[in-house]
Amino acid sequence: MRPIVINGTVLCDPITGIPRYVYEVVTRLDELLTGTGLDVRLCYRDDGRPLHLPPLKNIQVVPLKAIKYSYNLFVLPRYVRKHDAFYLGLASDMLMGRPSAVVLHDIRPLVMNTDRAFFRFKFWVHCLSIRAFAQRVYTVSDDQRQLISRRLHIPTARIGLTYNGWEHLQPVEPDEGVFDKLPGVHKGEYFYALGSLAGHKNYKWIREVAARNPDKVFVVAGGKDLAAFGDDEQAVSAGNLHYPGYVTDGENKALMQNCRAFLHPALFEGFGIPPLEALSLGAQVAVSNASCLPELYGNTVRYFDPMDYDVDLDELMSRPVESPQKILQKYSWPVTAAFWLDEIRRFAAQ
């Protein structure tokens, strides 16, 4: 059977978003590979940055010396050809070669004007290479699958679905010391949101709603490095709105467990992990009625119009919701890892 090569360079980045998906798939897949005889390798660009992975038992880790752009264009493709391997890009990363498959988590730069022009151009070229070379394309919601099919003219039959999970927060110890950093924020009395301050996350909605509800407290956590999106001078704590910036997993867990409700006002998502994390921790959740969110979360959350700044939060949170148990079973890292084991068996046998 032919080897499977996974591109793991994204695991040199902080483990959030897409790196989180790759980390959870690789570490859980490693356990499932015991006794299968499958040859799975994880290659990464060895440029001095540490690889955020625990020791693996069954997946061979292969560092490849390369400078930034030469890695995907020359170094990794040469390795794949030399070993007659099947290439698997779990982080929307595509090589111009066959046989290969890629997870295209979302195509936001093709449909929203929230990224710099040069980035959008590079992403368009990247998507064209996926359409031309990938034997199989995957994405993380049916909403995104339909959008990819329309925009890139890829038949939906060629686009598979693979989901995110929530178990990564379960072993984390909540760090309630975060409340010492947030004077005026008390357990059970604040609305919480998490993510970057990029335009498609729509944290303007929270600013506007906070301004209209001075009797309520809001916390927005996440990185403030907006180099890819432009500056946001309003990302400062003021009055009833708190911007603590980046929070650790422990601090995030404490904030989710103790909030009055978790808010997710995004205008566009491929999947959107934070609401799933919040549901897994027992939080009440309200999300935008846009993009893939109604598809994924069904009746387990409340919905609001992401352009309506006059929403009545008390009325919103009084609406009944269903237990999240079914979606926590459906969107699960063990389920996703088992899915990839089956897919890798097929790739290796070709």
- With 80 as the cut, is the pLDDT of residue 281 above it? yes
44 bridge partner residues? 63
Of all residues in the chain, what percent carry a pLDDT higher than 70? 95
pLDDT for position 132: 93
- With 50 as the cut, is the pLDDT of residue 121 above it? yes
C-alpha 99: how far from chain center: 26
For residue 117, what pLDDT band results from cuts at 50, 70 and 90? confident
Average pLDDT, whole number, for the chain? 92
**8 A C-beta contact, residue 346 and residue 3:** no
What tens digit of pLDDT does each residue of 301-345 get?
999 999 999 999 999 999 999 999 999 999 999 999 999 999 999
- Cα(159)–Cα(149) distance, rounded to whole angstroms? 8
pLDDT for position 230: 42
pLDDT for position 231: 44
pLDDT for position 97: 78
Of all residues in the chain, what percent carry a pLDDT higher than 90? 80
pTM above 0.95, yes or no: no
What tens digit of pLDDT does each residue of 52-108 get?
999 999 999 999 999 888 998 899 999 999 999 999 999 998 887 789 999 999 999
The dihedral over CA atoms of 55, 61, 63, 69, expressed in degrees to the nearest 10, equals -110
- With 90 as the cut, is the pLDDT of residue 118 above it? no
pLDDT for position 234: 55
pLDDT for position 200: 85
pLDDT for position 340: 98
Query: Which of 195-199, 249-253, 281-285 is the least confident region?
Result: 195-199
For residue 268, what pLDDT band results from cuts at 50, 70 and 90? very high
- With 70 as the cut, is the pLDDT of residue 27 above it? yes
pLDDT for position 96: 77
138 bridge partner residues? 103, 160
Closest by CA to 156, choosing from 141, 172, 171, is 141
- With 50 as the cut, is the pLDDT of residue 156 above it? yes
Task: Work out the average pLDDT over 151-171.
Answer: 96
pLDDT for position 1: 86
**8 A C-beta contact, residue 241 and residue 212:** no
According to DSSP, the β-strands at 4-7 and 86-89 are parallel
Question: Tokens 């930034």 belong to which residue?
Answer: 68
pLDDT for position 233: 54
Greatest extent of the chain over all pairs of C-alpha atoms, in Å = 64
Which has more confidence, 272 or 25?
25
Q: Which structure tokens are listed for 27?
A: 């570490």
pLDDT for position 226: 45
According to DSSP, the β-strands at 60-65 and 86-89 are unpaired
- With 70 as the cut, is the pLDDT of residue 135 above it? yes
**8 A C-beta contact, residue 46 and residue 67:** no
What tens digit of pLDDT does each residue of 213-237 get?
999 999 999 865 544 434 455 556 6
